[in-house]
Structure 1
Amino acid sequence: MPALDREHSTLLVVDIQGRLMPAIEDGSMVIANARRLVDAAALLKVPVLFTEQNPAGLGSTVQELTLSGPVAHKMTFDAVRSPGFLDRLPAERAIVVAGCEAHVCVLQTVLGLLAHGRQVFVVRDALGSRRTESKETAVRRMERHGAEIVTTEMVTFEWLTTCEHPRFREVVALIK
């Protein structure tokens, strides 16, 4: 897989919801890195799609993540199984995935995207689970099935492409 191209990327933020996050190991780091990705996407005009799993039970997306894109509500763990979900993600776009829980909704959604021939980049430092071994096992499994494993910094610098980009300083300020 080549480097990410902002013109052909969509950021997918999976289930970073109010009632779930207190149980997530290093949840504040997950939220902070997801925030960086959302902000970089906004600066670089990369579309963002959020999902919310059973929002009546788990609440809405955390306040720290200003919703800068549409929200797909779902009851299935694999968002791809929700009616119309895949239609929101153009086939020619690489899907950059962050969210929770790595071993449940993120894993199943990534496997669903891969099964539909989508190019998927999973942002390891913007993933959360209640337990480290669940997250790490999910990351290995997603990688084994064809997802590229990346970090927040990798994504933002690949989206920038050059230090001459007019938004370079603003995007780099998100990382520092």
Structure 2
Amino acid sequence: MLVIVDMQARLLPHLDGGERLAGRVGTLLRAAHLLDVPVVVTEQNPRGLGGTVDALLDDIRTATVIEKHTFDATLAPAFVAALPPAPATLWIAGAEAHVCVLLTVLGLLRLGYRVEYVADAAASRRAEDRAVALARAQQDGARLTSVETTIFGWLGSCRHPRFRDVLALVR
């Protein structure tokens, strides 16, 4: 399952590399859709931060969208209810890397999930905060990965029937 955290309209313009982040997350979402990988999207206090950024709305059409008010999404019962049983592997990306993404990663690890933190699809307002978040996640047991590694891992083989469609996303 792919977990996308808080890619919201009023937050992204303030992030270091926010536009690039939206592109990387969009690529993950399109690949997940092509490969039937289930997706959960969180929105932190959408009345205050707005909903998911417009650029990703088409990409989340089949996702489960969870409104939350906790920084750690695992403290929101609807989020936990949307997850497969542990110890499934969850890929996580979004914003901000050092707050909601990191705290959710730590919560998922406590619940017994295997967590792949998609490092090039996570951002914070300050690059230093993102770096600390990645180090902390790794120290606590998450594995760092990238968008392309994630996508090719989902594919498994160049013989996959959707290989050419997915390859077009990363070129």
TM-score range, shorter chain: over 0.9
Q: How far apart in 2 are the matches of 1:143 and 1:19?
A: 29
What is the total number of aligned residue pairs between the two structures?
167
Match of residue 57, structure 1, among 42, 48, 52: 48
Q: How far apart in 2 are the matches of 1:37 and 1:139?
A: 19
Partner residue, 2:164: 169
- On the 8 A contact 2:66/2:78 being kept in 1, the answer is no
| Alpha-carbon distance, 1:28 to partner | 1.1
CA offsets 1:101-155 (integer angstroms, 9 cap, x no match): 0000001000000001111001001001000000000000000000010000000
CA offsets 1:58-91 (integer angstroms, 9 cap, x no match): 0000111122311110000000001232121112
More helix by share: 2
> Over aligned residue pairs, what C-alpha RMSD do you find?
0.8
| TM-score (norm: length of structure 2) | 0.95
- On the 8 A contact 2:44/2:70 being kept in 1, the answer is yes
Partner residue, 2:19: 28
Report the residue type matching 1:77 in the other structure.
F
1:140 matched to 2:131? The reply is: no
Q: How far apart in 2 are the matches of 1:128 and 1:170?
A: 27
- On the 8 A contact 2:64/2:82 being kept in 1, the answer is no
SS at match of 1:117: coil
Select between 91-100 and 154-163 the one with higher mean Cα deviation: 91-100
Q: Which runs of 5+ in 2 are unaligned?
A: none
Q: How far apart in 2 are the matches of 1:166 and 1:83?
A: 36
Identity %: 47
CA offsets 1:19-62 (integer angstroms, 9 cap, x no match): 00000011111110100100000000000010000000000001
Q: Which runs of 5+ in 1 are unaligned?
A: 1-9
Match of residue 103, structure 2, among 84, 100, 108: 108
